[in-house]
Amino acid sequence: MEDTPCVVLHTSRMNISAVSVLGLPGPGQIYGHNDTSEQMVLSFDTILPRPHATLSMDLDYSLRPGLEGLYRSQFTAADGTNNTLGTTQFETSGARLAFPCFDEPALKATFDISLTTTTGLTALSNMPVTATQDLSSGDTTTHFATSPPMSTYLVALIMGNLTSVSTMVPHPEPGQPDRNVSIYGTPDRAGNLETALDITVKVLPAFESLFGIPYTLPKLDLIGIPDFAAGAMENWGLITYRETALLIDPQHASLPDLRSVAYIIAHEMTHQWFGDLVTCDYWGELWLNEGFATYFENYGATAARPEYRFFDTFYATQASLGQIVDAKNVSTHPLATITGVDSTGRVESFFDSISYNKGGSILRMMRAFLNNRRIGDESYGLRRSLLQSDEDDVFIRSLQQYLRANEFSTGTSHKLWETVAQVAGLPIARWMDQWTYHGGFPLVSATLQGSQVTVSQVPFTSQGPGTCDPTNTTGTPPWWIPLPFTTNSEDQLNWSIQLDTCVGGHAALINVDPGTQWVKLNAGQYGFYRVNYTQPMWSSLAAAATVSDGGAGTVLGSEDLAGLLDDAYQLSRAGQLSITVYLDLIRSLAQRPEPLMSAWLVGASPLVQIYQSLSMAEGEASCAAEWATFVQQNISNPVVANVTAGTTKGVSITGTISGTDADSESLRLLRPTLLSLAGYFNMTAVSQEAVQLLQDNANDVLGIDPDVRQLVYTQAVANGGAASYNIMQGLYLSASDPSEKERNLAALAYARDPDLRQQTLEMVLDDSVRSQDALSLLAGVAVRSNAAAHAAWSFLTENWAALFQKLGGDNEASRMMGKATQSIASHFAAQSQIDAVNALYTAHEQYLSERSYFDNSIDSIQANIQWLQLNAEQVCLWLAES
Ligand SMILES: [Zn+2]
């Protein structure tokens, strides 16, 4: 440490007066402020005391509009009075909007916080209250206990008119005090706090036992905030949520809503260890926060609600998405980046599917590999063993050690893998080097000859295959890949094979029984890679896809089918496989009567995407109409009939859509997905019944089965003209429950009539729509059809400045605008639209924090153009022949 008369602090947009250092004569001065780095230099006439100096500052600060920093959120109470809540959102660089600080995750400090508010309001922070003091002014000062060392982005302050429920959770160590767990909301949410409390008190002990370290703080509060940009924020001891992500009415909530609340509670609670106790060392290592939360949210949610089968949808909802983003040159980046993370915009773009979904998938792959090597051959029972945290779980033991070694400090990828390597006794740090410090992921190719499968790898990209090169001169070095496989004759995962060369040598040769009909690699979909097979192997897999439980031999399960469909479709998009492979597979799947949850969650959306892509072919002959007829006759109608055969009589919303209480969670989750597919492809029984149901229940919509209420709303608005639209708009304006309001608003985006659609677009800027919901409404309109996407694009470009203003006019606003641009542009396939994206960027550059959203927009338009060139003709030919 050197002698200095200066201090450099992060700060942004505040008036600072009266700067002084305790013990120094005379005030300090603000010597300069850099708007780009958001830093100021304070200078003093003399050298500052060592080793500690106490700095004092007076700040003039109002609650901000917008959704970051210390901002205001507004709500109307049941008695009609308007209330304002003061709340914070600091990750990543919002703390400097509230107070000057060293605003970097590695610079941890203890915090002593006091808040003076109007008497009667609730004041909350990370730590429990130690004292309150009524002032003669009529205000009250609340003092909070000193925090442990923590990063600035995790500090939270909330004040307002609030209500709560609480319970005590015993400490896992004897003699230690119980911890107070509370759920807070605005007073009108008083009836919707209990579900979250029940989930939280189950997740907390599950994580304490899994991670081997008790929760650090004496209390834990979770709170629903009426205006909130993201889904939630893991502030240590005071977790903030969008209202719909936390406060739920279990009587009237759908299964996806209930699952999502459990997920997101468990996600933020994982962060209390991975993120808050051990923080990523710098933002380039963000995956150490978000990858862990993405994986372990499944564990925590399962502890609270085992019947919801969270791990079963990991591949379909998490890994699959991560692979799509990681395959694009424009959006891929290494999990851990050493450089290029110093500007706000660059930091924010790390909150993507790579840090979350790829990060979580890599952890899952490693845990499955380590457990199976040791446990041996648990085959499909592995999924159950992954839930347990017994001492045999090498991966969990190494994580416990990593947490203990780095608590109250920071972690890095290097520290993590070194610890896992040491505990497992394997060269894991070397194996994970390519996965951690290089973008992208591999494509494994398999060839069956006689009773041997040979394997090789190249990098997979959406532009086509890359080159594998062990010398790292003309291509990418090989990844280390665990290759579990299954065949028709072995009902178990075989984990014996690993591929760490470009072309598998003797060690990576898979031996199967002579006469084996099919081989499936990446069995169970634990690995973060794609697999391509020879045409005969694909054909046998498509034939096997029709075989149900109860058939002879091993049956392809839902996860494996999801992987096959996803690989086949994405390979065809990248020009590396004929699209007919995907088409044959999905047609096979429609024969199966089981509710194959993962397979349909992954497999259904390409059917819609293909229709939309075919419709994008401007000025050319298109077979979009023929495609729609084909899907209806061969896929959507049969699958609805097959999957729901045991539960209903015929196709009817009241019968098929609502089902019965005895239906499995898989079927409950799948039913709306399949029926909205059927509705999209014009199954009139679905659309007509939806219109009727909405009309009949307009005065008591909560009487409609919550699992399908969203489906009924969207199908009714899509097919019911002005009458249904007006009912929905009325419901939206009068709804008080945020979840119900969200459903109503999402449905309004389904209007097909251009005038009604325009009404929805105009609501985006209307006061009746909160800023947090405005852009998802706009993106929701764009997804409906080509005409709708063009209408949404015009609305975005014509109202850019007003929208930006509505969102608060800050960095968070420009990020939200970037994401909306990207989402709408993904529905176009013409060079003229690329020009339009560039023109939009040029016109509004001053509002934007980064270019990447626009690069991604252009990339997806190019990908659509490429898809049409590669696949449109093939699809049309295949339709003509089938
Ligand atoms: Zn997170």
Segment 149-199, tens digit of pLDDT: 999 999 999 999 999 999 999 999 999 999 999 999 999 999 999 999 999
- Residue 26 pLDDT level (bands cut at 50, 70, 90): confident
Does the pLDDT at position 339 exceed 80?
no
How high is the pLDDT of residue 650? Answer: 34
Q: Of 210-214, 269-273, 867-871, which gets the smallest average pLDDT?
A: 867-871
| Residue at a domain's end among 680, 715, 746 | 746
The token pair at 405 is 């070694």
Does the pLDDT at position 700 exceed 60?
yes
DSSP 548: P
Residues 573 and 643 in one domain: no
Does the pLDDT at position 295 exceed 90?
yes
CB under 5 Å of ion ligand 1: residues: 290, 293
Residues 773 and 858 in one domain: yes
- Residue 510 pLDDT level (bands cut at 50, 70, 90): confident
**Residues 112, 128: Cα–Cα separation, whole Å:** 11
Residues 607 and 524 in one domain: yes
Residues 719 and 803 in one domain: no
Whichever domain contains 800, its CATH number is 1.25.50.20
Tell me whether the omega of the peptide bond preceding residue 92 falls within 30 degrees of 0, making it cis: yes
SS3 165: strand
Sequence-distant (6+) residues with CB within 8 A of 20 are 26, 27, 28, 55, 56
Does the pLDDT at position 604 exceed 80?
yes
Sequence-distant (6+) residues with CB within 8 A of 528 are 319, 322, 323, 358, 361, 362, 365, 435, 441
**Residues 73, 88: Cα–Cα separation, whole Å:** 10
Does the pLDDT at position 764 exceed 50?
yes
Distance 231 CA to ligand 1 centre (A): 9
pLDDT tens track for 95-125: 999 999 999 999 999 999 999 999 999 999 9
Angle between helix 721-734 and 738-748 (nearest 10): 150
Distance 86 CA to ligand 1 centre (A): 22
Distance 159 CA to ligand 1 centre (A): 24
Do 85 and 158 touch, CB atoms closer than 8 A? Answer: yes
Sign of dihedral through CA atoms 677, 463, 860, 880? negative
Average confidence score pLDDT of the chain: 90
Whichever domain contains 487, its CATH number is 2.60.40.1910
Distance 272 CA to ligand 1 centre (A): 10
How high is the pLDDT of residue 648? Answer: 40
Range of the domain at 495: 441-615
Across the range 138-142, mean pLDDT stands at: 96
Q: What percent of the chain has pLDDT over 90?
A: 66
**Residues 417, 205: Cα–Cα separation, whole Å:** 26
- Residue 668 pLDDT level (bands cut at 50, 70, 90): confident
SS3 65: coil
How high is the pLDDT of residue 379? Answer: 33
- 92 occurs within a structural domain: no
Longest dimension (CA), the chain: 90
- 349 occurs within a structural domain: yes
Distance 346 CA to ligand 1 centre (A): 18
Distance 171 CA to ligand 1 centre (A): 25
Residues 677 and 581 in one domain: no
Residues 409 and 329 in one domain: yes
User: Which range, 416-425, 545-554, 692-701, has the best average confidence (pLDDT)?
Assistant: 416-425
Whichever domain contains 370, its CATH number is 1.10.390.10
- 465 occurs within a structural domain: yes
Residues 654 and 790 in one domain: no
| Residue at a domain's end among 727, 746, 765 | 746
- 420 occurs within a structural domain: yes
Across the range 376-385, mean pLDDT stands at: 37
- 268 occurs within a structural domain: no
Distance 454 CA to ligand 1 centre (A): 40
Q: Which residues of 197-216 are buried (b: 16+ CB within 10 A; e: fewer)?
A: bbbbbbbbbbbbebbbbbbb
How high is the pLDDT of residue 381? Answer: 37
The token pair at 760 is 């929805």
Across the range 303-319, mean pLDDT stands at: 90
Across the range 796-823, mean pLDDT stands at: 91
Do 296 and 231 touch, CB atoms closer than 8 A? Answer: no
Residues 530 and 470 in one domain: yes
What single-letter amino acid sits at 220?
L
- 822 occurs within a structural domain: yes
Higher pLDDT, 656 or 129: 129
The token pair at 523 is 């069995």
Distance 273 CA to ligand 1 centre (A): 12
Does the pLDDT at position 375 exceed 80?
no
Residues 466 and 598 in one domain: yes
pLDDT tens track for 456-494: 999 999 988 899 999 989 999 999 999 999 998 876 778
Sequence-distant (6+) residues with CB within 8 A of 409 are 108, 149, 278, 279
Distance 290 CA to ligand 1 centre (A): 5
Higher pLDDT, 609 or 847: 609
Specify the number of domains making up the chain: 4
How high is the pLDDT of residue 373? Answer: 55
**Residues 13, 392: Cα–Cα separation, whole Å:** 53
How high is the pLDDT of residue 653? Answer: 45
- Residue 349 pLDDT level (bands cut at 50, 70, 90): confident
Across the range 849-868, mean pLDDT stands at: 88
Tell me whether the omega of the peptide bond preceding residue 51 falls within 30 degrees of 0, making it cis: yes
- In the set 38, 268, 594, 850, the catalytic residue is 268
- Residue 591 pLDDT level (bands cut at 50, 70, 90): confident
What single-letter amino acid sits at 373?
R
Higher pLDDT, 489 or 573: 573
Do 490 and 380 touch, CB atoms closer than 8 A? Answer: no
Would residue 268 show up in a list of annotated catalytic residues for this protein?
A: yes
Residues 834 and 698 in one domain: no
Does the pLDDT at position 297 exceed 60?
yes
- 204 occurs within a structural domain: no
How high is the pLDDT of residue 149? Answer: 98
- 117 occurs within a structural domain: no
Does the pLDDT at position 400 exceed 50?
yes
| Residue at a domain's end among 550, 580, 615 | 615
Residues 426 and 322 in one domain: yes
Does the pLDDT at position 424 exceed 80?
yes
User: Which range, 372-386, 419-433, 480-494, 804-818, has the best average confidence (pLDDT)?
Assistant: 419-433
Residues 878 and 851 in one domain: yes
The token pair at 743 is 């459903």
Distance 778 CA to ligand 1 centre (A): 25
Does the pLDDT at position 388 exceed 60?
no
E strands in 416-547: 441-449, 452-460, 481-482, 485-487, 490-494, 498-499, 510-511, 519-521, 530-533
Sheet of 114-118: strand order equals 114-118, 139-144, 129-134
How high is the pLDDT of residue 659? Answer: 53
Does the pLDDT at position 267 exceed 80?
yes
